[in-house]
Structure 1
Amino acid sequence: MKYYIYLIISLLIPFTSLAQFIQGQVQDEKGEGIPFVTVFIKGTTKGTQSNEQGFFSLPLEGIQGEEISISALGFAKKDFPVSEKTQTQVFVLSHDNQIFEEVVVSGTLNPVSRLDSPVPVEIYTPQFFARNPTSNVFSALQNVNGVRPQVNCNVCNTGDIHVNGLEGPYTMVLLDGMPIVSGLSTVYGLSGIPNSMIERMEIVKGPASSLYGSEAVGGLINIITKTPEKAPKISFNANGNTWGEFNIDIGQKAQIGKMAKVLTGINYFNYSFPKDLNGDHFTDLTLQKRISVFQKWTIGKSKIPPLSLAARFFYEDRWGGEMNWNKSFRGTDSVYGESIYTTRWELLGQYILTHNRDLQLSFSLNRHIQNSFYGQVPFHAKQDIGFGQLLWNKHLGSHQLLGGLAMRYTHYDDDTPATASPNDLNVNKPSITPLPGIFIQDELKINPKFTGLFGYRFDIHPIHGGIHTPRIALKYSPKQGQTIRLNAGTGFRVVNIFTEDHAALTGARKVVIEETLKPEKSMNVNLNYMTKIALNGESFLGLDLSAFYTYFTNRISPDYSTDVQEIIYRNLNGHALSQGISGNLDYKHASGIYLNAGFTLLDNTMTQNGEKIRPLLSEHFQSTWGLGFPIRRVHAKVDYTGNLYSPMKLPLLGDLDPRPEYSPWWSIQNIQITYGQSSKNWEIYFGVKNLLNYTPPKNSIARPFDPFDKQVEYDTHGDILATENNPYALSFDPSNVFAPNQRRRLFFGLRMQLD
């Protein structure tokens, strides 16, 4: 037996001596082996991974590459020249503190490390959103803890974004720090922001009115777009699914002369296949055709502060309704449909006025035009917003001073009572709101472990007068990678009903405004603890815990229950509370395994005339998660994402309404498999969305067979009668909605980029 073994070995020796390979150990600065290191031959698909002691062996036969690229979690990526030596070599990587140095701007308007920011800011990158690919920002937020995209209409599928249980109008959505996504665009325009534009997304939970003014009561979402400097030369991403949805993103950057760089992005989305799987004769998902064109310019030389300009055009044609609807029925009472044409353009820019970069001018202009019919009810509106801000930033000793002058001008006009003359509803009177403001902030570094921030803003509203919004933030860092923050502040919000509550435009309810609505005010306290821990160089663990409390006065909430035929708007005669705790856990292993998990416990209440009630569509508990791991042998990775929501109170049409008062527990879960290698700059991905095939009850739309209420009978007081054809005394109503109607579906896509 030994003879045969020696014979085989002797025969193999000539072949092994001819083979070319590289073997070695990857070590840190202290000489300790780094486990699960990724090693690739640059320009090829050939690669391997080190073992737990950092050792690896990589064949070189037939490989033309001249360098190997070595990377590991928590270490700076490094390239080494290829060597054909067979003896073990040592490759040293240096620790990379970037995981502790994520830079944010939304909390203080200053670029600062996330751990150093006195205001807690959450960061989400395109890599996070790629784990569950969607066509727009609105849908992408479904896996962010404490944030929930809320669909507000079963027919046209418009929606808003809830943060910590507060409705969409309480959250300010910024584009590159500009407050241009507001009013009409928070209802109709969020779906038009493609993910391909995003460099990162920063989320602040809690009032930020001292820096950003009105609307930043519940929090803010700052969508920071890509720059020509960081974007790939060419990018392409296309995906579709078995429901017939198709989305394509194309990006390209170019050098124009010696001083200008430009990035152009085009997004196109199409869904043109009506489906009625729940059998109510209405479309389960709104039909949509959407195009968005985005361009961003950077102009200037290296020694001259650059001018940044960006522009976007967006158009969408969407409709939902009865399955036999077409555009010939638009605005008639023959076949019910909700048809919405949206046209929007935006222009925004930033320019640093001084060489020491302490003075910056920001500006934006946008126009949003809405042409809509909800059945036979028209809604035509136009909104123009102009914004300018001069920002002064100065470092003086231990003080980081910030001051600013802001001016926001809003012109809004529609064909509803919202813009009618109070003396004559037949006379149109557009809403014109100039809103100048001034703010100042002092970030004081008391010692290496303790920082305080003090801010104040004063705005002048043409109707409500001067509005004061102070805030204070304290940060304590007991040791590296650990931060405790205490934030307190105030917020205010001026309400525009018809751009905030879609139910005011759909169904058969009459809108009643009982009084001149006063601006809502809030007081907020937030306690946050965040830590990031390196675990033996193999993995990182991040923990983020928060407790929040917000007290509202003059809260405005639609009343659906006093009269089932009306939506009554009034200031709350009492107060409202939003309080709770939330936690996020992030785990990353050098092998490529990751886990993100979050939970939020909420208690949202309104006290009206001494009676405590729970707001509609507000959950007590929500959770999100993401789990992923690589399958390196086949160059693939798996991502499993999902969310879970507790029951929410739903709008009903009276005591006889047979539909449940509360939604059940519900969850949307997804799985994705990605195949490809970053070294080749392409990926194929496919998977399943809504694994559990969850959809709301089939009777979510009340009386879908009589959408124009032609068979509804009324008594002498105008109340609906219970009849043989209408035993529950209902009218047509599509507002009972809490989850998407879209069932399980397969999806597939391709990503490519050229650097």
Structure 2
Amino acid sequence: MKYLFLIMLFFSVKASYSQTISGKVNRDNDAQRIKIALLNSEFKTEADSLGNYKLENIPGGDYKIQVISTGFKTISQKISIVENENLNLDFELKDNENELNEVVVSGTLKAVKRLESAVPVEVYSPVFFKKNPTASIYDALQNINGVRPQLNCGVCNTGDIHINGLEGPYTLVLIDGMPIVSSLSTVYGLSGIPNSLVERIEIVKGPASSLYGSEAVGGLINIITKNPLNAPMFSADVFTTSYLETNVDLGMKFNPSKKATTLLGVNYFDYNQIIDKDHDGFTDVTLSKRVSIFNKWSFQRNNNRLFTIAARGMYEDRWGGDVRWEKKFRGGDEIYGESIYTKRGELIGSYQLPFEEKVILSFSGNVHYQDSRYGTTSYIANQKIGFLQLTWDKKIGRNDLLAGIANRYSYYDDNTTATKEAESTWLPGIFVQDEIRFSPKSQVLLGMRYDYNSIHGSIFTPRVAYRLKANENTIFRLNAGTGFRVVNLFTEDHAALTGSRDVVIKSDLKPEQSFNVNLNYIQKINFGNGTFMGIETTVFYTRFSNKIISDYETDPNKIIYDNINGYALSQGISTNVDLNLPSGLKFIVGATVLDNKNVENGISETPFLTEKFTATWSISYKIEPLKLLLDYTGNVYSPMKLPLLSETDPRSPKSPWYSIQNIQFTYLGWKGFELYGGVKNLLNFTPKQNNPFLISRTNDPFDKNVQYDSAGKVLVTSNNPYGLTFDTTYVYGQNQTIRGFLGLRYNLK
């Protein structure tokens, strides 16, 4: 009887421990080791090459199962094990949102995993930009390391985008790989791109002219819009701030036929509050009404050939200036205001030709009409740009070839005395690129491009890149190349500044050219407990010849442009660190140290509005029990040299150290909805701090009471004690105080 009891006890214990958990771990990309474990227990295993796994002899009870693989989001899930019942659990691994396995196209014009690209490309998803919601792509870039939106006008609040301290004209902005945002739209066209339609933003730092031609001198920003096939049926994102800035983003997908899918996006922005918290009698922020409509079509074709076409129309009415200004004062000298009407249309598309070879025809076109009044100064401009490109993509053995021909037509005319007649230019080009893979760990990329400008003649831009994969977690990249920019000065910043200064060109401006070399290092660290860290560091060096410099100091009423009699340098080091903890805490931290200077006649000077150091961060934590996501974002900038009008100008010659910080709470407890709110500019920083004023002589914006000596120098008088003229160029950051915001998102899949 005793032995019978022991046998029964043995089988009962074995039965209570006979439960198993099995299943399959699916993933889009190849994963390394996939570890499955029950936390706080000895039960753990690894999936096989197909993703199958099995845990055996598990006692009944409540557990938390965790699935871990380098480069993928950690999965944690609570489960209950019932005695004598086996459990089948399948999992889907997803790439980390801030990880290194994204597919990119900007570096080589080919779709390739980011880690496999010979050219370093940074990728930012909508998840990243949701951490600090903004009304435009221009504002959204403020939390990207090494990228800084720069205001150029203290009244009209127009601006451009700096990469590694280089001015906006050196940054090429693309939509779906097409050079659609350039020239006039660098100043005015970055607003109105619906954020809800953005799939991701890719950034290449350093010259990319061998693929993209003119303007890609300092770097490029490629805005990739969503594929209509993968977009939700309906999406909406609406938010407002305590300044009563209201932004509405809507996206809708339709299927007109079995082989056609279309995505319609609408962006509406309205800000109509006259606010003057610095008490200078001028608006702190430009008032604006903007509507933008975007429509993208995707067509299914035989053999999965590509055919997409998209169009966007945008209209904006903005004004800033004297708080008493009304439209009836537009263009007059009674009450000062800067009023800008912008009309813009764009068309982009790609069509894969019906050949066995992969041949793609890409095209884009845009028209931009500007009707502006800067006080009594009228600036009316008309710009048309057309772009056509044919590429051939072929793999031959170890060689991955890309060749193409392109042509760009630009038309520009305005009513200024500097533009005596309309200017039309053609820029045909031919390029070839060969990516040679010596081994799975080593590859080299060789590229060159030849362009012929109808005004400036021949331009040749080569580049070379080498990638070494030391091991699964360590990658080195070395890139070198040249860039060029055909100058069209007035389409870039003339309109933003002409309200207070005349523009003078000392000589025929030559195309700017640059040489760049950078070394990129990526290190992935998997701590094995669900903690993952990615470190990316880039050392860069760019030398410019023929750089166009702006002289603000010789004459306070003028900006004098000329090619530098020497050279210019942009060099530094940039580091990004991504850290994901199993607790759900995530860090994205970046810092850039810059050394930018113009060297002329043996004298080295730091350019205006160029920081020595910048840092950005994003810290996120999800509180699971409350379905609440916390995001804390911010940036910090070192002092920048600012343009003063005279030796007696009382404003600081340098900006202070300053930081813009934001916090956001997002409630995720409703299916399909996200309710979010928070505070922007937590530290309540404005450029007016430590300055008597930002805009000089707002009491006399038409300079009616300014007196000059025989040499044209402004005299110091009783009603002009500092010897200044009206000027709006002393600006380096946004002029909005601390403010709250509240918004709601909805997605219907």
TM-score for the superposition, normalised by structure 1:
0.89
Corresponding residue number in structure 1 for 2:239? 239
Distance in 2 (alpha carbons) for counterparts of 1:412 and 1:55? 76
Corresponding residue number in structure 1 for 2:400? 400
- Letter paired with 1:224: I
Within the candidate set 469, 483, 489, 1:491 is matched to 483
Distance in 1 (alpha carbons) for counterparts of 2:294 and 2:401? 34
* Residue 151 of structure 2 is aligned to residue 159 of structure 1: no
Report SS of the residue matched to 1:127: helix
Corresponding residue number in structure 1 for 2:525? 533
Corresponding residue number in structure 2 for 1:559? 551
Q: In structure 2, do the counterparts of structure 1 residues 146 and 34 end up closer, same or farther at CA, with 3 Å as the change threshold?
A: farther
- Letter paired with 1:332: G
Distance in 1 (alpha carbons) for counterparts of 2:445 and 2:259? 38
- Asked whether the 8 Å contact 2:430–2:451 carries over to 1, the reply is yes
- Letter paired with 1:750: L
- Asked whether the 8 Å contact 1:74–1:537 carries over to 2, the reply is no
Q: In structure 2, do the counterparts of structure 1 residues 241 and 354 end up closer, same or farther at CA, with 3 Å as the change threshold?
A: same
Distance in 2 (alpha carbons) for counterparts of 1:526 and 1:54? 56
Shift of 1:26: 10
Q: In structure 2, do the counterparts of structure 1 residues 218 and 345 end up closer, same or farther at CA, with 3 Å as the change threshold?
A: same
Q: In structure 2, do the counterparts of structure 1 residues 587 and 34 end up closer, same or farther at CA, with 3 Å as the change threshold?
A: farther
Corresponding residue number in structure 2 for 1:512? 504
Shift of 1:101: 2.8
Corresponding residue number in structure 2 for 1:714? 708
Q: In structure 2, do the counterparts of structure 1 residues 210 and 693 end up closer, same or farther at CA, with 3 Å as the change threshold?
A: same
Corresponding residue number in structure 1 for 2:719? 725
Alignment of 1:424-503 (within 5 A): 429-502=421-494
Distance in 2 (alpha carbons) for counterparts of 1:519 and 1:26? 62
Report SS of the residue matched to 1:139: helix
Shift of 1:562: 1.6
- Asked whether the 8 Å contact 2:61–2:82 carries over to 1, the reply is no
Distance in 1 (alpha carbons) for counterparts of 2:94 and 2:666? 27
- Asked whether the 8 Å contact 2:60–2:81 carries over to 1, the reply is no
Deviations 1:47-86 (A, max 9, x none): xxxxxx9999499xxxxxxxx9999995589999999946
Sequence identity percentage: 53
Alignment of 1:246-257 (within 5 A): 246-257=246-257
Once superposed, what is the RMSD of the aligned Cα atoms? 2.7
Deviations 1:508-540 (A, max 9, x none): 322211100001111100100012233315132
Corresponding residue number in structure 2 for 1:3? none
Shift of 1:30: 7.1
Shift of 1:654: 1.2
Distance in 2 (alpha carbons) for counterparts of 1:75 and 1:619? 36
Report SS of the residue matched to 1:203: strand
Range with bigger deviation, 692-701 or 201-210:
692-701
Distance in 2 (alpha carbons) for counterparts of 1:23 and 1:669? 49
Within the candidate set 583, 600, 622, 1:591 is matched to 583
Report SS of the residue matched to 1:255: strand
Q: In structure 2, do the counterparts of structure 1 residues 503 and 250 end up closer, same or farther at CA, with 3 Å as the change threshold?
A: closer
Range with bigger deviation, 232-241 or 535-544:
535-544
Q: In structure 2, do the counterparts of structure 1 residues 234 and 620 end up closer, same or farther at CA, with 3 Å as the change threshold?
A: same
Distance in 2 (alpha carbons) for counterparts of 1:58 and 1:328? 71
- Letter paired with 1:397: G
Distance in 1 (alpha carbons) for counterparts of 2:346 and 2:473? 39
- Asked whether the 8 Å contact 2:686–2:736 carries over to 1, the reply is yes
Corresponding residue number in structure 1 for 2:28? none
* Residue 203 of structure 2 is aligned to residue 203 of structure 1: yes
Shift of 1:639: 0.2
Distance in 2 (alpha carbons) for counterparts of 1:30 and 1:388? 46
* Residue 121 of structure 2 is aligned to residue 121 of structure 1: yes
Q: In structure 2, do the counterparts of structure 1 residues 80 and 260 end up closer, same or farther at CA, with 3 Å as the change threshold?
A: farther
* Residue 681 of structure 2 is aligned to residue 690 of structure 1: yes
Alignment of 1:52-201 (within 5 A): 57=62, 85=82, 89=87, 91=89, 93=91, 99-201=99-201
Distance in 2 (alpha carbons) for counterparts of 1:79 and 1:131? 23
Report SS of the residue matched to 2:455: coil
- Asked whether the 8 Å contact 1:23–1:57 carries over to 2, the reply is no
- Letter paired with 1:170: Y
Deviations 1:270-312 (A, max 9, x none): 0001100000000000000000100000112463513101001
- Letter paired with 1:198: V
Distance in 2 (alpha carbons) for counterparts of 1:469 and 1:27? 50
Range with bigger deviation, 525-534 or 688-697:
525-534
Corresponding residue number in structure 1 for 2:566? 574
Shift of 1:214: 0.5
Distance in 1 (alpha carbons) for counterparts of 2:129 and 2:686? 23
Q: In structure 2, do the counterparts of structure 1 residues 111 and 660 end up closer, same or farther at CA, with 3 Å as the change threshold?
A: same
Distance in 2 (alpha carbons) for counterparts of 1:339 and 1:374? 7
Distance in 2 (alpha carbons) for counterparts of 1:419 and 1:579? 35
Report SS of the residue matched to 1:725: coil
- Asked whether the 8 Å contact 1:233–1:754 carries over to 2, the reply is yes
* Residue 627 of structure 2 is aligned to residue 635 of structure 1: yes
Range with bigger deviation, 639-648 or 99-108:
99-108
Q: In structure 2, do the counterparts of structure 1 residues 55 and 677 end up closer, same or farther at CA, with 3 Å as the change threshold?
A: farther
Corresponding residue number in structure 2 for 1:335? 335
Corresponding residue number in structure 2 for 1:661? 653
Distance in 2 (alpha carbons) for counterparts of 1:186 and 1:54? 64
- Asked whether the 8 Å contact 1:544–1:584 carries over to 2, the reply is yes
Range with bigger deviation, 514-523 or 190-199:
190-199
Distance in 2 (alpha carbons) for counterparts of 1:350 and 1:79? 41
Shift of 1:546: 0.4
Q: In structure 2, do the counterparts of structure 1 residues 245 and 386 end up closer, same or farther at CA, with 3 Å as the change threshold?
A: same
Q: In structure 2, do the counterparts of structure 1 residues 596 and 504 end up closer, same or farther at CA, with 3 Å as the change threshold?
A: closer
Distance in 1 (alpha carbons) for counterparts of 2:63 and 2:222? 44
Q: In structure 2, do the counterparts of structure 1 residues 477 and 56 end up closer, same or farther at CA, with 3 Å as the change threshold?
A: farther
Report SS of the residue matched to 2:490: helix
Shift of 1:561: 1.0
Report SS of the residue matched to 2:471: coil
* Residue 607 of structure 2 is aligned to residue 603 of structure 1: no
Deviations 1:447-496 (A, max 9, x none): 12110000000000111110000000010001113210000000111122
Distance in 2 (alpha carbons) for counterparts of 1:511 and 1:79? 61
Range with bigger deviation, 257-266 or 588-597:
588-597
- Letter paired with 1:751: R
Report SS of the residue matched to 1:557: strand
Structure 1: which 5+ runs fail to align? 1-21, 37-52, 60-67, 421-428
Shift of 1:100: 4.8
- Letter paired with 2:687: P
Deviations 1:240-265 (A, max 9, x none): 01001000111110111111000001
Report SS of the residue matched to 2:285: coil
Shift of 1:354: 3.5
Shift of 1:505: 3.7
Structure 2: which 5+ runs fail to align? 1-18, 26-32, 41-57
Corresponding residue number in structure 1 for 2:734? 740
Q: In structure 2, do the counterparts of structure 1 residues 91 and 73 end up closer, same or farther at CA, with 3 Å as the change threshold?
A: farther
- Asked whether the 8 Å contact 2:250–2:265 carries over to 1, the reply is yes
Distance in 1 (alpha carbons) for counterparts of 2:486 and 2:425? 10
Distance in 1 (alpha carbons) for counterparts of 2:130 and 2:73? 23
- Letter paired with 2:382: K
Corresponding residue number in structure 2 for 1:307? 307
Report SS of the residue matched to 1:196: helix
Shift of 1:27: 10
Shift of 1:502: 4.5
Corresponding residue number in structure 2 for 1:383? 383
Q: In structure 2, do the counterparts of structure 1 residues 716 and 745 end up closer, same or farther at CA, with 3 Å as the change threshold?
A: same
Q: In structure 2, do the counterparts of structure 1 residues 54 and 161 end up closer, same or farther at CA, with 3 Å as the change threshold?
A: farther
Range with bigger deviation, 71-80 or 734-743:
71-80
- Letter paired with 2:204: V
- Letter paired with 2:318: R
- Letter paired with 2:526: A
Q: In structure 2, do the counterparts of structure 1 residues 349 and 714 end up closer, same or farther at CA, with 3 Å as the change threshold?
A: same
Distance in 2 (alpha carbons) for counterparts of 1:69 and 1:365? 50
